């Protein structure tokens, strides 16, 4: 029986019409075309409170965080599209990582990240496409026993980049986004297949 990589795709944004949600869905299409089983989640559906060490100490890890960690643990790799807020990572994505990296009893910290392979991308109305924020995301994940693939996409002028159907107008950029998903799948097949 051949190995089918399981990929989790999400964006570090809550906004309904988020450019980053659109971008990660294009990359997810590339992963599906390469033979992966892809699950897309919207972080709006998983409202985490702000990370608070006192809350964790008195009440433990919230049930919703545990649920998301279980989803993450069931996947081999992640497609993550990160908005850039003030030249850095979005608060939503940072809080998501802070909570999901916490260790439950009998578990090592960052267990749902450990050994995963990740492909990064960003979309922004600005001219750099969220590139500066990706530096922060790459740095954070790089300390968590994650393989972050070197290729990435920073989609500039994102407010003009998408068609009504969610595809990217520029065919080369659309293909590049799909290639991020494809390359993640091919890397996982080489590592685990």
CB 120 within 8 A of CB 12: no
Question: Beta-carbon neighbour count of residue 90 at 10 Å?
Answer: 24
Question: Beta-carbon neighbour count of residue 176 at 10 Å?
Answer: 19
Distance CA 57, CA 25 (A): 36
Q: Is the pLDDT of residue 122 over 90?
A: yes
Give the architecture-level CATH label for domain 6-192.
3-Layer(aba) Sandwich (3.40)
Distance CA 146, CA 137 (A): 12
Tens-digit pLDDT profile for residues 132-143: 999 999 999 999
CB 23 within 8 A of CB 81: yes
What mean pLDDT do residues 69-81 have?
98
Dihedral angle of Cα 125, 130, 133, 134, to the nearest 10 degrees: 160
| Structure token digits, residue 157 | 């002028």
Instruction: Give residue 57's pLDDT.
Output: 93
What mean pLDDT do residues 113-129 have?
95
Q: Where are the domains of the chain?
A: 6-192
Instruction: Give residue 1's pLDDT.
Output: 58
Tens-digit pLDDT profile for residues 16-61: 999 999 999 999 999 999 999 999 999 999 999 999 999 999 999 9
Distance CA 90, CA 147 (A): 21
Distance CA 53, CA 101 (A): 13
Tens-digit pLDDT profile for residues 137-183: 999 999 999 999 999 999 999 999 999 999 999 999 999 999 999 99
DSSP 41-76: --GGGS-PPPP-HHHHHHH-S-HHHHHHHHHHHT-S
Q: How far is CA 24 from CA 20, 56, 67, 119, in A?
A: 6, 31, 22, 10
CB 29 within 8 A of CB 7: no
The whole model's pTM is what?
Answer: 0.96
């Amino acid at each position: 029986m051949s190995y089918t990589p399981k990929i989790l795709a999400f964006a570090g944004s809550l906004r309904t019409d988020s450019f980053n949600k659109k971008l990660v869905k294009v990359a997810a299409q590339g992963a599906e075309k390469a033979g992966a089983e892809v699950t897309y989640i919207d972080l709006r559906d998983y409202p985490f409170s702000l990370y608070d060490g006192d809350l964790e100490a008195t009440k433990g890890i919230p049930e919703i965080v545990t649920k998301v960690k279980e989803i993450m643990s069931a996947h081999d790799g992640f497609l993550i599209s990160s908005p850039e807020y003030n030249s850095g990572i979005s608060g939503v994505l940072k809080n998501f990582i802070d909570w999901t990296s916490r260790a439950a009893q009998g578990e090592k910290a960052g267990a749902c990240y450990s050994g995963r392979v990740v492909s990064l991308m960003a979309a922004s109305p600005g001219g750099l496409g969220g590139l500066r924020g990706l530096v922060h995301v790459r740095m954070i994940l790089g300390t968590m026993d994650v393989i972050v693939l070197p290729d990435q996409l920073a989609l500039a002028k994102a407010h003009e980049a998408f068609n009504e159907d969610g595809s990217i107008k520029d065919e080369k950029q659309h293909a590049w986004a799909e290639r991020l998903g494809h390359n993640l799948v091919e890397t996982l097949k080489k590592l685990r297949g």
